[in-house]
Amino acid sequence: LTPAIRRVESHLPHGRLAGDSEDYTLKSPERFKEKLAKMIARNPGSPAEDLAAEIYDAARYTFMFEPQEYTDGTWLVHRRLKAQGFELEARRNRWESPESKGIRTRWRDPAHDLAFEVQFHTPASWDVLQRTHDSYVRITDPQTPPDERDQLRGRQVAASAAIRPPPRCAEIGDFRADTR
């Protein structure tokens, strides 16, 4: 995947992969195991191998664009990924969310039946995501008490409050393919 993603990046007139992208491409083994354990608990009759294959963010990439280039850059990456043979399975535009900004997409490499995530951020939304990642991990942990979860969400909302949606980003709507 990484060489294909780097080819997409090399043809962008604006934007780039987030710094140190390859250091964060693969979900850590600990986080992967945690996520798989949660899925097994929610789907006790399903084979673990099938559930593991559905962890679409085990491999992930982040493209970053300045606000004025964001919408066109995001669409360009979509077109380039499709030209590489990848299939868009889902897209979620989170720019109106009080907690977490950006666009998250799920793609599939049909040649290897491998799902992966591509996120789209501005420098400001990427910075907040990096600074609040530990809070996100705690929020999504079922062991976190509800009052602590509320407190952490409040911090995320405060950190995201100053981020403005890029121009025209609302043109990039949510999407879900009819898959599997």
**Beta bridge mates, 108:** 87, 115
C-alpha to C-alpha distance for 162 and 168, rounded to whole angstroms: 18
pTM: 0.86
**Residue 180 reports pLDDT greater than 70:** no
Residues 98 and 154 sit within 8 Å (Cβ to Cβ): no
Torsion of CA 125, 22, 63, 35, to 10 degrees: -60
Q: What is the pLDDT of residue 179?
A: 59
Percentage of residues of the chain with pLDDT beyond 70: 94
| Burial class, 34, CB count within 10 angstroms (exposed 0-12 / middle 13-18 / buried 19+) | middle
C-alpha to C-alpha distance for 57 and 79, rounded to whole angstroms: 20
Most confident of the following: 3-12, 27-36, 140-149:
3-12
Q: What is the pLDDT of residues 104-162, one digit of tens each?
A: 999 999 998 888 999 999 999 999 998 998 898 888 888 899 999 999 999 999 999 99
**Residue 55 reports pLDDT greater than 80:** no
Torsion of CA 107, 55, 123, 165, to 10 degrees: 70
The 10 Å CB-count burial string (b at 16+, else e) for 46-83 is eeeeebeeebbbbbbbbbbbebebbbbbbebbbebbee
Apex 26 CA angle, 160 and 115, nearest 5: 90
